[in-house]
Amino acid sequence: MTRPVRDAGAVAECRICTGSVEEFLDLGRQPLSDAFRRPDDTAEEFFYRLAVGRCADCAMVQLVEEVPRERMFHEHYPYHSSGSSVMREHFARTARGFAAAVSGAPDPFIVEIGCNDGVLLRTVREAGVRHLGFEPSAGVARLAAGDGVRVKVEFFEAATAAAVRAAEGPADVIYAANTLCHIPYLDSVFKGIDALLAPDGVFVFEDPYLGDIVAKTSFDQIYDEHFYFFTAASVRAMARRFGLELVDTERLPVHGGEVRYTLARAGARRPSPAVDALIAEEEAARLGDPATLAGFTASVHRVRRDLSALLERLRGEGRTVAAYGATAKSATVTNFCGIGPDLVAHVSDSTPAKQGRLTPGAHLPVVPPERFADPYPDYAVLFAWNHADEIMAKEQAFRDAGGKWVLYVPEVRIV
């Protein structure tokens, strides 16, 4: 299932329709975004070329090279979906909505692809709805199971979904959050959805939205785990290819801008006006136009120059600079912009599995949150910019002490 590594400039093949993928942005050699290393680890790091292109036939924007899934999702996968209070509430609200929607069905069944630590399915369980999560990363799967969530430590694909259908019957809702865009082999996933989904069921997924990435120049949303960058137009085309229909879309403010897509079997449900409205918005913004994507590439390089220049100036002035949030997407920023410990002393992060380790490639030390205030730096680069309101409110004492935040989305600025 792993596509071979390609040389720069080679033509890639679309994983959806086998059309030609035209590369428009090269972010250079990148490490695995969640491969945090121990300081004494001398093993050679895995790097790949991070480049993104658009299929000339089906308009799907995707990575040019594929990283083997076992390298990314494994026993020690460090990301926890419940780490943010904003996301906990988001998933609880989503789960309550699903539970209400299936309440009239006899013995309803909700399945989640990539349930992580069970943050959504806990609420489903509490509502008394039969459920099952697929989670290939054993460490976070154990956390879900420890909270009473039913979870399979497996990848969701045709064979595993068919086995669940045979054992437990059809699913009324299949859901995936920040997961479907991780999976290059969507043909197998959609075969699994076809096998498991009830005739009148829905497949709902939410992922970072290409429209927001382009509008905000949030190029750090591009990293190894994010293989696809969806739009309503490309999702509608993809759904039709697999015998499904896009019946609803909803813009979401989480994770820097996402869209929730609802798919159903062709003809089973009347599409919402929101679908045509979002596609019309994409057309007006010329989101699939090569000139638009070329403009995005130019903006990315401008941010790179401005951020590097700012950090080098602060170093020259003798200012202390740290960072906040050892996010997966920060690997793209640090490695593309050449940000090492000479420019940023350390990164504060609340995830125990990341603390005491070094960030991928750039090797910035990751420290616990209490180190952020001991003492406060003069400046802090906010890698977790998608949680800016939550973090800035939590760290008001940093501002009160004279500290300043460095932001780079949509442009480099100090606040």
Which tens digits make up the pLDDT trace of 89-147?
999 999 999 999 999 889 999 999 999 999 999 999 999 999 999 998 888 899 999 99
Do 318-414 and 81-290 have the same topology in CATH?
Answer: yes
Structure tokens at 380: 């802090």
Q: Is residue 315 a contact partner of residue 375, using CB atoms and an 8 Å limit?
A: no
Class of domain 318-414: alpha beta
> What is the domain partition of the chain in residue ranges?
12-65, 81-290, 318-414
Residue 75 has a pLDDT of 56
pLDDT at residue number 3: 40
pLDDT tens for each residue of 23-80: 999 999 999 998 999 999 999 999 999 999 999 999 999 999 988 777 665 555 556 6
Q: In 3D, which of 184, 224, 252, 236 has the Cα closest to residue 15?
A: 184
> Other C-beta atoms within 10 Å of 161: how many?
26
Q: Is the peptide bond before 170 cis (omega within 30 degrees of 0)?
A: no
Can you tell me the distance from the alpha carbon of 190 to that of 247, in angstroms, rounded to the nearest whole number?
A: 16
Q: Does pTM top 0.85 for this prediction?
A: yes
Tokens 């929730």: give the residue. Answer: 260
Please list the ranges in the chain whose pLDDT falls under 50: 1-10
Q: Beta-strand (E) ranges in 254-402?
A: 258-265, 321-324, 347-348, 366-367, 379-382
| Order of strands across the sheet that contains 20-31 | 12-13, 20-31, 47-55, 61-63, 228-229
Task: Please name the residue ranges forming H helices in 102-157.
Answer: 119-126, 138-146
**Range 81-290: architecture per CATH:** 3-Layer(aba) Sandwich (3.40)
Q: Which residue has the tokens 């501002």?
A: 399
